[in-house]
């Protein structure tokens, strides 16, 4: 397996007319700053606070997940994930990247008997009804995913589906259509699972939602859909190994965090664009957005001072956004770093037709591979940005398989906790989200929460 290659030449001062980083600093002050951040992160790994570091090695959990998925094989045509935020976005990314964005439109035979995967992460009644109307309840499995087991949106979706199933099949039968993925000890979903014998999988106590894709949260749907859970974890383990060093120049996650943080604090590049050149990786850009935003956008630093820190992550997709957002990236405010994700080999390439040889606007394309066009457009956009002094970097993926995606998830998760240390915030909590949740409980009349005062 070839590790993901990082090209940051378009971030350095020699290649940008302004705002570039002096590469010597990567071996001087930025290396020292990173070394301190590395110590902070290593301490959180050792204390167990950052439990996601252990996920690639959790072979017992993988076996248990595999066992439950194997037991359900062939019984369901549709798998519906009921969850939100970190409990949903990883699964959508896994589905789109490894099965393809059109997986749900494929026939049962094309899917080799594996279920369609739907991710319900909104309480929009139209969207819920649209999906429910297309499901055969007798052939549908609902995976309720919530670390806390109490999030209002997930609880509401669970209650809707439970109501439908109980009405149709009665309570005994209904429970066969659920798998809960939740905290191993605490929370309402855990209590229900234990009291009623509903199948359940654990999210380790020290793993938060947005860092949980490599736990049963992502593994269960992935394995049920026939993906290789062991390969996902092996790729993640590889990233963990090559990101262990405190030497900045040898640590890709450290470089990503350092380059983005430095571009922000030294040159005002507070918007961090994730731009894959691949439809399969569109959802990955949104997964990254949630991870970066919720981990780094914080009111307080780690000493409790008010800082209101955090970069703004922005998803974009090549080539589509070349005709939407790239104009802004090239000529708008100098407040962005663009991260390109390039795939060196397309799953299935297409040769462009040759029937318009006499039309100059078409002839040059004829006979070339579409993948080559995609790749050329990515390289051209990176170079156009560079020529206009706009910092950008490129991640090159040799292929898009379970191992590479596992590696990418882990690489960006580690970069996020390094960035947390560099911004001096706690990347593992989300107090702002909690406030919104509590105010929702109040508006919806949950016991123990005072009526709203506005």
Task: Tell me which residues touch ligand PA5 (CB under 6 A).
Answer: 84-87, 146-148, 151, 154, 208-210, 294, 430, 433
Task: Report the nearest approach of ligand PA5 to the CB of residue 300 (Å).
Answer: 17
Task: Report the nearest approach of ligand PA5 to the CB of residue 193 (Å).
Answer: 15
- Cβ of 447: how many Cβ atoms within 10 Å? 5
Nearer to ligand PA5, 152 or 166 (CB): 152
Nearer to ligand PA5, 100 or 188 (CB): 188
Catalytic (active site) residue 388: no
Nearer to ligand PA5, 147 or 261 (CB): 147
Catalytic (active site) residue 437: yes
Nearer to ligand PA5, 87 or 392 (CB): 87
Task: Report the nearest approach of ligand PA5 to the CB of residue 249 (Å).
Answer: 31
Task: Report the nearest approach of ligand PA5 to the CB of residue 428 (Å).
Answer: 9
Number of helices (H) and strands (E), helices first, in the chain? 16, 12
Catalytic residue among 61, 153, 162, 294: 294
Catalytic residue among 112, 185, 308, 323: 323
Residue nearest ligand PA5 (C-beta atom): 209
**Six-digit token string for 138:** 């007798």
Strands across the sheet containing 392-397? 5-7, 392-397, 336-343, 271-276, 312-315
**Six-digit token string for 8:** 């940051």
**147, 216 Cβ separation under 8 angstroms:** no
Catalytic (active site) residue 61: no
Task: Report the nearest approach of ligand PA5 to the CB of residue 132 (Å).
Answer: 21
| Alpha-helical regions (H) of 216-298 | 216-224, 229-242, 252-267, 282-296
Residue partners of 187: CB distance under 8 A and separation at least 6: 146, 147, 148, 149, 150
Q: What does the H/E/C string look like for 339-371?
A: EEEEECCCCCCCECCCCCCCCHHHHCCCCCEHH
What are phi and psi for residue 369, nearest 5 degrees? -80, 140
Nearer to ligand PA5, 218 or 318 (CB): 218
Catalytic residue among 372, 379, 437, 438: 437
The residues with which 41 forms a beta bridge, in sequence order, are: none
Q: Give catalytic residue positions.
A: 294, 323, 437
């Amino acid at each position: 397996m070839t590790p993901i290659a990082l090209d940051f030449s378009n971030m350095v001062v020699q290649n940008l007319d302004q705002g570039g980083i002096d590469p010597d600093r990567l071996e001087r002050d930025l290396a020292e700053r990173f070394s301190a951040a590395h110590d902070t992160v290593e301490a959180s790994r050792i204390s167990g606070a950052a439990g996601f570091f252990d996920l690639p090695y959790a072979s017992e959990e993988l076996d248990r997940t595999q066992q439950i998925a194997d037991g359900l094989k062939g019984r369901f045509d549709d798998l519906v994930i009921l969850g939100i935020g970190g409990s949903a976005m990883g699964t959508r990314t896994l589905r789109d990247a490894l099965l393809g964005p059109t997986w749900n439109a494929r026939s049962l035979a094309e899917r080799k008997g594996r279920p369609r995967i739907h991710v319900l992460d909104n309480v929009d009644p139209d969207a819920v009804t649209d999906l429910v109307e297309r499901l055969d309840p007798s052939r549908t499995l609902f995976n309720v995913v919530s670390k806390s087991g109490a999030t209002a949106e997930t609880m509401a979706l669970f209650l809707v589906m439970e109501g439908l199933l109980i009405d149709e099949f009665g309570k005994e039968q209904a429970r066969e259509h659920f798998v809960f993925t939740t905290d191993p000890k605490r929370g309402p979903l855990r209590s229900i699972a234990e009291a009623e014998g509903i199948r359940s999988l654990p999210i380790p106590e020290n793993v938060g939602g947005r860092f949980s894709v490599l736990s049963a949260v992502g593994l269960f749907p992935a394995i049920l859909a026939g993906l290789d859970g062991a390969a996902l974890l092996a790729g993640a383990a590889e990233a963990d190994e090559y990101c262990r060093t405190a030497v900045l120049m040898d640590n890709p996650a450290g470089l990503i965090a350092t380059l983005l943080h430095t571009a922000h604090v030294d040159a005002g590049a507070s918007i961090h664009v994730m731009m894959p050149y691949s439809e399969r990786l569109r959802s990955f850009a949104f997964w990254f957005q949630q991870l970066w935003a919720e981990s780094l956008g914080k009111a307080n630093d780690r000493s409790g001072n008010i800082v209101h820190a955090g970069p703004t992550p922005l998803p974009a997709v090549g080539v589509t956004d070349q005709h939407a957002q790239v104009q802004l990236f090239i000529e708008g405010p100098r407040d962005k770093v663009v991260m390109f994700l390039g795939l060196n080999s397309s799953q299935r390439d297409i040769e462009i037709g040759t029937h318009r040889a006499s039309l100059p606007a078409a002839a040059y394309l004829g006979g070339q591979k579409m993948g080559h066009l995609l790749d050329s457009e990515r390289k051209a956009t990176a170079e156009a940005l560079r020529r206009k002094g706009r910092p950008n970097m490129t991640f090159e993926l040799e292929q898009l398989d379970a191992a590479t995606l596992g590696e990418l998830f882990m690489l960006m998760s580690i970069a996020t906790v390094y960035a947390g240390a560099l911004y001096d915030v706690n990347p593992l909590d989300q107090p702002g989200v909690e406030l919104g949740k509590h105010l929702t409980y109040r508006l919806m009349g949950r016991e123990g929460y005072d009526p709203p005062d506005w």
